[in-house]
Amino acid sequence: MTYVMSLLLLGLVLGLVAVASNPSPYFAALGLVVVAGLGCGVLVGHGGTFLSLVLFLIYLGGMLVVFAYSAALAAEPYPESWGSRPIAVTMLVYVGGVVLVSGLFWSGWYESSWVSVEELDEFSSLRGDVGGVALMYSSGGEMLVISAWVLLLTLFVVLELTRGLSRGALRAV
C-alpha cells in the first residue's frame, strides 16, 4: 500500500507541475483531470471513499464544464504543448523547486503516516468518512454556503478572463 500511495503522490505532484507550467487551456484541462483523479486516489488510500467520490463527481460535473466552456472561448490555433522548449524548461524549474523544498521536510515523514482512518480505531462501528460527512452538514453548513459562493465567483472570473477585447461572452467563434 505504501508503494501505491507513493506513486499516487508522485503523480499528483507531477500533474500539478504540468498544470502550473502550461499556458494552453487544452493541456491544462487534461492535467486537471489527472490531478483530480490522483488526489481522489490519495483520499481513498487514507479511508475517505465517500468524500473522494463526491469531490470527483463535483469536479467532473461542475468545474470541468466551466473550464471546457472557457477553453472553447479562448481557442488557439497552435497551442503550446508539454514537449515545447519553454514549457519543458518551466516544468524542470518547478520540479527542481519541489525537490529543493521537499529536501527541507524529508526527515519529518514516517511510515506511520500511511495508516488509514479505519486502522486507528479498532472497535469503531462507523467509518471515518461517514462521520465526517455528517459533521460537514451539521457544523459546516456555513462553509458549504461559502464554498458555493466561491464556485459561483470562480465561474464569473473565468468568463471575464476569457471575454477578450470587450466582445462579451457570446461571440461568433
CATH number of the domain bearing residue 138? 1.20.120
Please tell me the distance from the alpha carbon of residue 122 to that of residue 126, in angstroms, as a whole number.
11
Whether 137 is in a domain gets the answer: yes
Q: Pick the residue with more confidence: 2 or 108? A: 2
Could you read off the pLDDT of 119-152 as tens digits, one per residue? 655 655 556 666 666 777 777 778 878 888 988 8
Contact between residue 61 and residue 36 where contact means Cβ atoms under 8 Å apart: no
64 or 39, which is more confident? Answer: 39
Q: Note whether 17 and 98 are within 8 A (CB).
A: yes
Range of the domain at 71: 2-161
CB 10 within 8 A of CB 35: no
- Mean pLDDT across the stretch 95-109? 81
**Long-range Cβ contact pairs of 47-51 (< 8 A, separation 24 or more):** 47/116, 47/117, 47/118, 47/127, 47/128, 47/129, 48/117, 48/128, 48/129, 48/132, 49/127, 49/129, 50/127, 50/129, 50/130, 50/133, 51/129, 51/132, 51/133
Residue 173 lies in a domain: no
Please say whether the beta carbons of 70 and 25 come within 8 A.
Answer: yes
Dist. CA 131–CA 157, nearest whole Å: 34
Q: Give the confidence band of 96 by pLDDT, cuts at 50, 70, 90.
A: very high
Residue 85: inside a domain: yes
Confirm if 69 and 170 have CB atoms less than 8 A apart.
no
pTM (2 decimals)?
Answer: 0.62
pLDDT score of 110: 59
Q: Count structural domains, the chain.
A: 1
What's the pLDDT score for residue 127? 63
Separation of CA 69 from chain center: 18
pLDDT of 116: 59
Sign of CA dihedral 65, 71, 72, 74: positive
Whether 162 has a pLDDT exceeding 70, the answer reads no
Q: Which residue has the higher pLDDT, 77 or 104?
A: 104
In-domain check, residue 171 = no
In this structure, is residue 77 part of a structural domain? yes
Q: 74: pLDDT confidence band, cut at 50, 70 and 90?
A: low
